[in-house]
Amino acid sequence: MITVVGSFVVDLMSRTPHMPVAGETVLGGPFRMGPGGKGGNQAVAAARCGSPVNMVTKLGKDDFGEMAKRTFLAENINIDYTPIDPEEATGAALIIVEQSSENMIVVALGACGKLSREDIYKAEDAISKSDIVLTQLETSVEAVVTTVEIAKKHGVPVILNTAPYQEFPKEILKDIAYVTPNETEAGYLSGIPVVDDDSALKAAAAIQAMGVKTVIITMGKRGCLLFEGPEKYEFVPSFKLDNVVDTTGAGDAFNGGFAHAIATGMSLKEAARFASAVAGLSVTKIGTAPAMPRIEDVEAFLAAH
Protein backbone atom coordinates (compact mmCIF):
# COMPACT_ATOMS: atom_id res chain seq x y z
CA MET A 1 0.00 0.00 0.00
CA ILE A 2 1.26 3.45 -0.97
CA THR A 3 -0.11 6.73 0.35
CA VAL A 4 0.57 9.79 -1.79
CA VAL A 5 0.15 13.18 -0.13
CA GLY A 6 0.28 16.10 -2.51
CA SER A 7 -1.21 18.05 -5.34
CA PHE A 8 -3.88 17.60 -7.93
CA VAL A 9 -4.19 20.18 -10.70
CA VAL A 10 -5.75 20.13 -14.13
CA ASP A 11 -3.14 20.45 -16.87
CA LEU A 12 -3.92 22.98 -19.62
CA MET A 13 -1.32 22.24 -22.28
CA SER A 14 -0.47 23.58 -25.71
CA ARG A 15 2.47 22.92 -28.01
CA THR A 16 4.41 25.82 -29.48
CA PRO A 17 6.97 26.16 -32.33
CA HIS A 18 9.16 28.14 -29.90
CA MET A 19 8.93 29.51 -26.39
CA PRO A 20 7.42 33.01 -26.46
CA VAL A 21 9.47 35.95 -25.20
CA ALA A 22 7.97 38.72 -23.07
CA GLY A 23 5.05 40.35 -24.87
CA GLU A 24 4.99 37.84 -27.72
CA THR A 25 1.94 35.89 -28.89
CA VAL A 26 2.72 32.58 -30.57
CA LEU A 27 0.33 30.51 -32.65
CA GLY A 28 0.53 26.96 -31.29
CA GLY A 29 -1.55 23.91 -30.71
CA PRO A 30 -3.12 21.54 -30.34
CA PHE A 31 -4.56 22.34 -26.91
CA ARG A 32 -5.14 19.51 -24.45
CA MET A 33 -6.70 19.44 -21.00
CA GLY A 34 -6.31 16.59 -18.54
CA PRO A 35 -5.59 15.50 -14.98
CA GLY A 36 -2.20 16.34 -13.49
CA GLY A 37 -0.33 17.73 -10.51
CA LYS A 38 2.73 16.04 -9.06
CA GLY A 39 0.77 14.17 -6.39
CA GLY A 40 -1.92 13.02 -8.79
CA ASN A 41 0.59 12.01 -11.45
CA GLN A 42 2.66 10.01 -8.98
CA ALA A 43 -0.42 8.30 -7.60
CA VAL A 44 -1.54 7.26 -11.09
CA ALA A 45 1.96 6.04 -11.96
CA ALA A 46 2.12 3.87 -8.83
CA ALA A 47 -1.43 2.56 -9.32
CA ARG A 48 -0.79 1.60 -12.95
CA CYS A 49 2.28 -0.29 -11.79
CA GLY A 50 -0.04 -2.40 -9.65
CA SER A 51 0.14 -0.87 -6.17
CA PRO A 52 -2.95 -0.08 -4.09
CA VAL A 53 -2.82 3.69 -3.58
CA ASN A 54 -4.41 6.23 -1.22
CA MET A 55 -4.48 9.81 -2.51
CA VAL A 56 -4.48 12.64 0.03
CA THR A 57 -5.10 16.01 -1.59
CA LYS A 58 -7.74 18.76 -1.56
CA LEU A 59 -10.12 19.71 -4.36
CA GLY A 60 -12.46 22.56 -5.15
CA LYS A 61 -16.19 22.22 -5.59
CA ASP A 62 -16.02 22.64 -9.37
CA ASP A 63 -15.70 20.85 -12.70
CA PHE A 64 -11.96 20.36 -12.27
CA GLY A 65 -12.63 18.70 -8.93
CA GLU A 66 -15.07 16.34 -10.60
CA MET A 67 -12.38 15.49 -13.17
CA ALA A 68 -10.06 14.58 -10.30
CA LYS A 69 -12.61 12.25 -8.74
CA ARG A 70 -13.30 10.52 -12.06
CA THR A 71 -9.59 10.12 -12.72
CA PHE A 72 -8.74 8.62 -9.34
CA LEU A 73 -11.73 6.29 -9.25
CA ALA A 74 -11.00 5.05 -12.79
CA GLU A 75 -7.46 4.15 -11.62
CA ASN A 76 -8.79 2.43 -8.45
CA ILE A 77 -7.12 5.05 -6.26
CA ASN A 78 -8.74 5.56 -2.86
CA ILE A 79 -9.92 9.16 -2.29
CA ASP A 80 -11.56 8.72 1.11
CA TYR A 81 -8.99 11.18 2.51
CA THR A 82 -9.42 13.90 -0.13
CA PRO A 83 -11.63 16.71 1.22
CA ILE A 84 -13.45 19.41 -0.75
CA ASP A 85 -12.57 23.02 -0.02
CA PRO A 86 -15.77 25.12 -0.03
CA GLU A 87 -13.98 28.29 -1.16
CA GLU A 88 -10.83 27.48 -3.16
CA ALA A 89 -10.91 26.31 -6.78
CA THR A 90 -9.21 23.09 -7.86
CA GLY A 91 -5.65 23.76 -8.95
CA ALA A 92 -4.56 24.29 -12.56
CA ALA A 93 -1.25 24.16 -14.44
CA LEU A 94 -0.49 26.14 -17.59
CA ILE A 95 1.95 24.11 -19.68
CA ILE A 96 3.83 25.09 -22.85
CA VAL A 97 5.62 22.30 -24.70
CA GLU A 98 8.15 23.37 -27.35
CA GLN A 99 8.95 21.37 -30.49
CA SER A 100 12.05 19.87 -28.85
CA SER A 101 9.71 18.50 -26.12
CA GLU A 102 11.14 20.86 -23.47
CA ASN A 103 8.48 22.56 -21.37
CA MET A 104 7.58 25.56 -19.20
CA ILE A 105 4.93 25.30 -16.49
CA VAL A 106 3.07 27.73 -14.22
CA VAL A 107 1.06 26.10 -11.42
CA ALA A 108 -1.85 27.70 -9.55
CA LEU A 109 -2.29 25.28 -6.63
CA GLY A 110 -5.73 26.39 -5.51
CA ALA A 111 -7.34 23.96 -3.07
CA CYS A 112 -4.45 21.50 -2.82
CA GLY A 113 -2.22 24.33 -1.62
CA LYS A 114 -4.50 24.61 1.41
CA LEU A 115 -3.92 21.07 2.71
CA SER A 116 -3.70 21.53 6.47
CA ARG A 117 -2.32 19.68 9.46
CA GLU A 118 -5.87 18.66 10.33
CA ASP A 119 -6.48 17.27 6.84
CA ILE A 120 -3.37 15.08 7.07
CA TYR A 121 -4.24 13.79 10.54
CA LYS A 122 -7.59 12.64 9.16
CA ALA A 123 -5.54 10.35 6.91
CA GLU A 124 -3.43 8.95 9.77
CA ASP A 125 -5.02 5.50 9.54
CA ALA A 126 -4.12 5.23 5.85
CA ILE A 127 -0.57 6.45 6.44
CA SER A 128 -0.06 4.04 9.34
CA LYS A 129 -1.04 1.03 7.19
CA SER A 130 1.14 2.01 4.22
CA ASP A 131 4.35 0.32 3.09
CA ILE A 132 5.65 3.70 1.98
CA VAL A 133 4.51 7.33 1.85
CA LEU A 134 5.31 9.60 -1.09
CA THR A 135 5.06 13.37 -0.89
CA GLN A 136 6.32 16.42 -2.79
CA LEU A 137 6.65 20.18 -2.29
CA GLU A 138 3.73 21.05 -4.59
CA THR A 139 1.42 21.67 -1.64
CA SER A 140 1.61 23.42 1.72
CA VAL A 141 4.81 22.92 3.73
CA GLU A 142 2.53 22.29 6.71
CA ALA A 143 1.11 19.24 4.94
CA VAL A 144 4.58 17.88 4.14
CA VAL A 145 5.88 18.34 7.69
CA THR A 146 2.75 16.72 9.16
CA THR A 147 2.98 13.79 6.75
CA VAL A 148 6.58 13.10 7.82
CA GLU A 149 5.58 13.44 11.49
CA ILE A 150 2.79 10.87 11.21
CA ALA A 151 4.85 8.47 9.11
CA LYS A 152 7.68 8.60 11.67
CA LYS A 153 5.20 7.90 14.47
CA HIS A 154 4.13 4.70 12.72
CA GLY A 155 7.53 3.64 11.38
CA VAL A 156 6.56 4.12 7.72
CA PRO A 157 9.37 5.16 5.33
CA VAL A 158 8.92 8.40 3.39
CA ILE A 159 10.00 9.43 -0.10
CA LEU A 160 10.28 13.22 -0.43
CA ASN A 161 10.32 14.50 -4.00
CA THR A 162 11.62 18.06 -3.60
CA ALA A 163 9.65 19.41 -6.56
CA PRO A 164 8.82 22.12 -7.27
CA TYR A 165 11.50 23.40 -4.90
CA GLN A 166 10.44 25.67 -2.08
CA GLU A 167 12.03 26.22 1.31
CA PHE A 168 11.03 23.74 4.01
CA PRO A 169 12.32 22.84 7.50
CA LYS A 170 15.48 20.83 6.79
CA GLU A 171 15.22 19.07 10.15
CA ILE A 172 12.55 16.76 8.70
CA LEU A 173 15.20 15.21 6.44
CA LYS A 174 16.46 13.07 9.33
CA ASP A 175 13.05 11.33 9.29
CA ILE A 176 13.01 10.71 5.51
CA ALA A 177 14.25 7.50 3.91
CA TYR A 178 14.65 8.74 0.33
CA VAL A 179 14.91 12.23 -1.14
CA THR A 180 14.58 12.52 -4.93
CA PRO A 181 15.60 15.94 -6.29
CA ASN A 182 16.46 16.59 -9.90
CA GLU A 183 19.72 18.39 -10.71
CA THR A 184 18.26 21.87 -10.21
CA GLU A 185 16.52 20.98 -6.95
CA ALA A 186 19.64 19.23 -5.65
CA GLY A 187 21.50 22.47 -6.27
CA TYR A 188 18.95 24.50 -4.34
CA LEU A 189 18.87 22.01 -1.48
CA SER A 190 22.63 21.54 -1.13
CA GLY A 191 23.89 24.96 -2.22
CA ILE A 192 26.09 23.19 -4.79
CA PRO A 193 25.09 23.69 -8.47
CA VAL A 194 24.86 20.29 -10.17
CA VAL A 195 26.48 20.47 -13.60
CA ASP A 196 28.30 17.13 -13.88
CA ASP A 197 28.87 13.84 -12.08
CA ASP A 198 31.44 15.28 -9.67
CA SER A 199 29.18 18.13 -8.54
CA ALA A 200 26.26 15.68 -8.26
CA LEU A 201 28.30 13.58 -5.84
CA LYS A 202 29.22 16.64 -3.78
CA ALA A 203 25.59 17.80 -3.68
CA ALA A 204 24.37 14.34 -2.70
CA ALA A 205 26.90 14.14 0.12
CA ALA A 206 25.84 17.57 1.39
CA ILE A 207 22.16 16.56 1.32
CA GLN A 208 22.84 13.27 3.08
CA ALA A 209 24.73 15.16 5.78
CA MET A 210 21.41 16.87 6.60
CA GLY A 211 20.14 13.51 7.87
CA VAL A 212 18.39 11.74 5.00
CA LYS A 213 19.35 8.08 4.50
CA THR A 214 19.42 7.81 0.69
CA VAL A 215 19.74 10.57 -1.92
CA ILE A 216 18.60 9.94 -5.48
CA ILE A 217 19.39 12.75 -7.93
CA THR A 218 17.54 12.36 -11.22
CA MET A 219 19.59 13.70 -14.11
CA GLY A 220 17.35 13.44 -17.16
CA LYS A 221 18.93 11.70 -20.13
CA ARG A 222 22.03 10.94 -18.04
CA GLY A 223 20.08 8.71 -15.65
CA CYS A 224 20.24 9.05 -11.88
CA LEU A 225 22.70 8.98 -8.99
CA LEU A 226 22.00 6.60 -6.10
CA PHE A 227 23.90 7.89 -3.06
CA GLU A 228 23.97 5.99 0.22
CA GLY A 229 27.36 7.30 1.35
CA PRO A 230 30.78 8.50 0.09
CA GLU A 231 31.85 4.88 -0.43
CA LYS A 232 28.48 3.58 -1.55
CA TYR A 233 27.05 5.23 -4.63
CA GLU A 234 26.23 4.38 -8.22
CA PHE A 235 25.24 6.19 -11.40
CA VAL A 236 22.38 4.32 -13.09
CA PRO A 237 22.01 5.18 -16.81
CA SER A 238 18.66 6.03 -18.33
CA PHE A 239 17.17 4.13 -21.26
CA LYS A 240 17.89 5.52 -24.73
CA LEU A 241 14.65 6.42 -26.51
CA ASP A 242 14.12 7.70 -30.04
CA ASN A 243 10.42 8.54 -29.77
CA VAL A 244 10.31 11.23 -27.05
CA VAL A 245 7.31 13.53 -27.54
CA ASP A 246 6.67 15.18 -24.14
CA THR A 247 8.95 15.23 -21.08
CA THR A 248 6.28 16.78 -18.84
CA GLY A 249 5.64 14.44 -15.91
CA ALA A 250 8.76 12.29 -16.35
CA GLY A 251 9.92 13.04 -12.81
CA ASP A 252 6.50 12.11 -11.46
CA ALA A 253 6.59 8.85 -13.40
CA PHE A 254 10.00 8.08 -11.88
CA ASN A 255 8.79 8.78 -8.34
CA GLY A 256 5.55 6.81 -8.68
CA GLY A 257 7.43 3.89 -10.21
CA PHE A 258 10.12 4.09 -7.54
CA ALA A 259 7.54 4.07 -4.74
CA HIS A 260 5.91 0.96 -6.22
CA ALA A 261 9.27 -0.77 -6.60
CA ILE A 262 10.38 -0.06 -3.03
CA ALA A 263 6.96 -1.02 -1.64
CA THR A 264 7.17 -4.37 -3.40
CA GLY A 265 10.63 -5.16 -2.04
CA MET A 266 13.00 -4.36 -4.91
CA SER A 267 16.59 -3.39 -4.10
CA LEU A 268 17.59 0.24 -4.52
CA LYS A 269 19.24 -0.36 -7.90
CA GLU A 270 16.35 -2.53 -9.13
CA ALA A 271 13.91 0.16 -8.01
CA ALA A 272 15.87 2.87 -9.83
CA ARG A 273 15.98 0.85 -13.03
CA PHE A 274 12.25 0.09 -12.78
CA ALA A 275 11.48 3.77 -12.13
CA SER A 276 13.64 4.80 -15.08
CA ALA A 277 11.64 2.49 -17.32
CA VAL A 278 8.35 4.00 -16.09
CA ALA A 279 9.73 7.50 -16.73
CA GLY A 280 11.09 6.53 -20.13
CA LEU A 281 7.79 5.12 -21.31
CA SER A 282 5.88 8.16 -20.01
CA VAL A 283 7.74 10.58 -22.29
CA THR A 284 6.70 8.66 -25.41
CA LYS A 285 3.13 9.93 -24.95
CA ILE A 286 1.63 13.40 -24.63
CA GLY A 287 0.36 14.45 -21.23
CA THR A 288 1.12 13.69 -17.59
CA ALA A 289 -1.22 11.34 -15.70
CA PRO A 290 -2.73 9.90 -18.92
CA ALA A 291 0.80 9.14 -20.19
CA MET A 292 1.76 6.93 -17.23
CA PRO A 293 2.48 3.38 -18.45
CA ARG A 294 0.84 0.22 -17.16
CA ILE A 295 2.76 -2.58 -15.50
CA GLU A 296 2.57 -4.96 -18.47
CA ASP A 297 4.19 -2.30 -20.68
CA VAL A 298 6.91 -1.63 -18.10
CA GLU A 299 7.70 -5.32 -17.71
CA ALA A 300 7.83 -5.83 -21.49
CA PHE A 301 10.10 -2.80 -21.85
CA LEU A 302 12.48 -4.05 -19.16
CA ALA A 303 12.54 -7.51 -20.69
CA ALA A 304 13.49 -5.99 -24.05
CA HIS A 305 16.27 -3.87 -22.53
Binding residues: 9-11, 37-41, 138, 182, 218-223, 246, 248, 251-252, 282, 285, 287
Q: List the catalytic residue out of 85, 119, 175, 252.
A: 252
Residues 227 and 208: beta-carbon distance below 8 Å: yes
Report the alpha-carbon distance of residue 262 to residue 250 in Å, rounded. 18
**Amino acid found at 195:** V
Report the alpha-carbon distance of residue 262 to residue 283 in Å, rounded. 22
- DSSP one-letter code for 89: P
Q: Sheet containing 232-236: which strands, arranged edge to edge?
A: 53-56, 2-5, 132-136, 158-161, 178-179, 214-218, 224-229, 232-236
Phi first, then psi, for residue 192 (nearest 5°) are: -115, 110
Strand, helix or coil for residue 234? strand
Cα angle value 278/160/110 (rounded, 5°)? 90
Question: What is the β-pairing status of strands 9-16 and 214-218?
Answer: unpaired
Active site residue 252: yes
Residues 139 and 39: beta-carbon distance below 8 Å: yes
- Annotated binding-site residues for substrate read 9-11, 37-41, 138, 252
* Catalytic positions: 252
